[in-house]
Structure 1
Amino acid sequence: MAENHAVKIADYKNELGTVEISPEVVEIIAGLAAAEVEGVDHLHGNFAAGVAEKLGRKSLSKGIKVDMNGENVTIEVYIVTKYGHSIPEVGGRVQENIVQTLKTMTALEAKAVHIHVTGVQFETKLEAETAPE
């Protein structure tokens, strides 16, 4: 099994030292990048993330699993899409946005970004009541 530990960024080593990026940072970046894509309602976390959120701790890495082995980064993303959006298109845009954001912010390239759609969110009652006719 691959070890999940901080990755040293080779291009950023200088006389002052090195830059390391932990998997948790990659999870947060990927989570934010996924959430900003149109058609994503929310990321689907596990039970522990749900309990922590109810206790007032916002988890920015909810619904994201990162496996880092050297500079090989594999990301698993669990999302709930909005009803009416093309699931394959939303998934593709999430993949593209995560890869681009990760490269821009960390200089890491994702080997794979796997999207798991765990549900579809229909229009809520509040949205239906406030929608213009």
Structure 2
Amino acid sequence: MEFVEFKNKLGSIRISDELIADIARDVALSTDGVNKMDSSFVHRIPSVINFEDADGVRVSIRNNEVVIGLYISVKHGKRIPEVALHLQESVKEQILKITGISVEAVHVNVEDIIF
């Protein structure tokens, strides 16, 4: 498990990558056009080993910089670029609003279209 850490005069605040992943997953699943979180077998291997990359979300934290990878299936008839852009904006906005963390990048990987 990785953490983003904020220090203040009273101590420190640590926010886990799992919490960030949960927020990103909730935002993705409530985004119009996203059918489900998806993760191919190759992407699921790390989750079997160390519980990262579970349920189609991968969070990387390096030097307090957060990068998120989302693996999704899109509903048929939706424009993939529009869905992906809206998802990127929504994830960055909600994580900042809830945690105070500014996300460096959100990478959207569309793995399937659901008819």
> Which range, TM-score by smaller chain?
0.7 to 0.9
Q: What is the CA–CA distance in structure 1 between the aligned matches of 2:40 and 2:77, rounded to whole Å?
A: 25
Name the residue aligned to 2:33: 39
Name the residue aligned to 1:113: 106
Fraction of identical pairs, as percent: 29
Contiguous gaps of at least 5 residues in structure 1: 53-60, 123-133
8 A contact 1:67–1:74 mirrored in 2: yes
What code does the residue aligned with 1:110 have?
V
1:74 and 2:67 matched: yes
| Structure-2-length-normalised TM-score | 0.84
Greater C-alpha radius of gyration = 1
What code does the residue aligned with 2:30 have?
E
Length, aligned pairs only? 106
Root-mean-square deviation over aligned CA pairs: 1.9
Deviations 1:70-110 (A, max 9, x none): 22111000000000000000000100110000100111111
| Structure-1-length-normalised TM-score | 0.73
Q: 1:22 aligns with which of 3, 16, 40?
A: 16
1:7 and 2:4 matched: yes
What secondary structure, in the 3-state scheme, does the structure 1 residue paired with 2:101 have?
coil
